Amino acid sequence: MNSNIIFLIIDSFRSDKFFGLKKTSTTPNIDYLIKNGTYFSEAITSSDATILSWSSIYTGRFPFKTGIRSSRFNKLDQDIPTIFDYLTKNNYAFYSFTPTFSETIGLFPNFKNENNIYDFTETLDSGLGDKILSLLSSKKMQSPWFLNIHLLDLHYPLLVPSVFDDEQFGFSKYERIISFIDDWIGKFIKKIDFENTILVVTSDHGTNIRKLKKNKQIFDFEDDGINEIRKKRLTNKIPTVFKPIKDKIFFSIESRKKIQKSTKISNYELTPYEKRSLLSGHYSIDHDLFDEKLRVPLLFYGKNIDKDKIFSKQVRLVDILPTICYLTDISFDYNNSDGKNLLPLKNEEIFQESPAYIESNPLIDKKSNDVIGIRTSKFKYFRDSESQNERIHLFDLSNDYYEEHNIASTNKTKVLEMENILQDFLNNFNKAKPKNDDLTSDEIENELRKMGYV
């Protein structure tokens, strides 16, 4: 019998807060899964936001090949096969818990559980966790099954359950929520028969954490989650006719907030990494592709998965689909994929890394300065999405872990080399031609506004 699969995406989960010495959360269940599974510590997502990342994860292709975006957001090109198409060949039944905007992009199939869609404000603590536990406990899922779960608890705005709002569970709100999520993961895995189930845990993208300690001084610019949700609900009720005024006020307030924060930290000696973490906003028009947004966890656990394997070479989230097809013994079309199978693990020294294509997600209500680029294990390159000669960034990741020194101006040869790799990705494929549909785009963008993508 084919293995059942649980595919768990924890929105905004950074790799360095999932595993390693840089986390302050309490995560006994995640630690157990890593110890008894296979973990990829250098997994790179294709984009810094959900929809573009989804388009890549579920198709094994880089986002610009899926037709999911043109000048505006569009549905997935119907000719692009997804993980659900491949699993259908082996008679998988599909179940899911995904946020409301997932219905708008044409990526997901019909799921068998009627409660598969939830509002973006619903968390594990407010009912979603019990719904997942109920399904796992019911024993009514039709085997083989694929359970798709996307959690938003770590996504802005951050709401820390009162029981976990204590320093013992993490330094920041973000890390305390990780401790909370870990507690729920423990409840989930107790209900799963791993003799015939594979668990895949990853994230769509990372995020900035706006709290840090420097020389005994604590800087805390994290959001007040409760007030942010109240404001969201209020602004979503404002009639469309007042939208231009609302947008003008909103962006003005965000600009003032950034100035105030800059003034507050101006007298302290902070590194470029620390400054951009604290000053990062959800709605800045100047986009970037630093690793805090791109390095995400990737864990395989369960049936036929090697135990206690930590793999440190660079892999990509486009590699998930071919890997799942390998684990379920499904024939996969590698000629039309950007990903490759990662299992069984080869000797790490001879593993051939592949460059990762990366791109930023555009704002909806305002023109943003978006960037595209390439990441290898040694170098990161990104530049303006519309010009090869603007906003050029190059970082030596081997010697500059926090990407604080842009060396593009003094390394023209390496810039050209990385640009050539980027051009190979952009040019050497039969590009999907997205069909602009204003009604579809409006629907997608309205849902994204509720999530904070303005």
> Is the bond into 157 cis (omega within 30 degrees of 0)?
yes
Tell me the domain boundaries of the chain. 4-209+289-350, 212-288, 356-435
User: Residue 432: its pLDDT value, please?
Assistant: 47
Range of lowest pLDDT (47-51, 184-188, 245-249, 412-416): 245-249
**CA geometry: angle at 338 spanning 375 and 413, to 5°?**
35
CA distance 383 to 393: 6
Structure tokens at 343: 């299992």
DSSP, collapsed to helix, strand or coil, labels residue 96 as: strand
> What average pLDDT score do residues 321-346 get?
93
pLDDT digits (tens, 9 = 90+) for 366-406: 788 999 999 999 999 999 999 999 999 999 999 999 999 99
Confidence class of residue 240 from pLDDT cuts 50, 70 and 90?
Answer: low
Q: Are strands 93-99 and 145-151 parallel, antiparallel or unpaired?
A: parallel
CA distances from 52 to 69, 107, 287, 359, 361 (A): 8, 11, 15, 9, 7
**Under 8 Å between Cβ of 72 and 335:** no
Which of 163-167, 195-199, 347-351, 377-381 is predicted least confidently?
Answer: 347-351
Q: Residues 97, 150: contact at Cβ < 8 Å?
A: yes
294 has pLDDT over 60 = yes
Instruction: Kindly report the average pLDDT of the chain as a whole number.
Output: 89
Homologous superfamily of 4-209+289-350: Alkaline Phosphatase, subunit A (3.40.720.10)
Bridge partners (DSSP) of residue 379 are: 396
CATH numeric code, 356-435: 3.30.1120.10
Task: Tell me how crowded residue 225 is: count the other CB atoms within 10 A of its CB.
Answer: 15
State both tokens at 393: 């960034």
**Buried/exposed 263-293: b ≥16 CB within 10 Å, e otherwise:** eebeeeebeebbbbbbbbebbeeebbbbbbb
Taking the C-alpha atoms of residue 403 and residue 118, their distance in angstroms, rounded to an integer, is 37
The pLDDT tens digits of the residues spanning 205-220 come to 999 999 999 998 999 9
Instruction: For residue range 121-177, list pLDDT tens digits in order.
Output: 899 999 999 999 999 999 889 999 999 999 999 998 899 999 999 999 999 999 999
Q: Is the pLDDT of residue 25 over 60?
A: yes
Q: Is the peptide bond before 434 cis (omega within 30 degrees of 0)?
A: no
Question: What is the Cα–Cα distance from 316 to 46, expressed in whole angstroms?
Answer: 8
CA gap 297, 25 in Å, rounded:
15
Is 39 strand, coil or helix?
strand
pLDDT: which is higher, 347 or 249: 347
pLDDT of residue 407 exceeding 60: yes
Residue among 454, 396, 371 nearest 48 (CA): 371
- 229, two tokens: 């949700």
- Percentage with pLDDT > 90 across the chain: 71
Helix (H, G, I), strand (E, B) or coil at 220: strand
348: left (phi over 0), alpha (psi -120 to 50) or beta: alpha
pTM for this one?
A: 0.92
Q: How far is 190 from 340, CA to CA, in rounded Å?
A: 31
Amino acid symbol at 253: I
Residues 6+ apart with CB under 8 A from 245: none
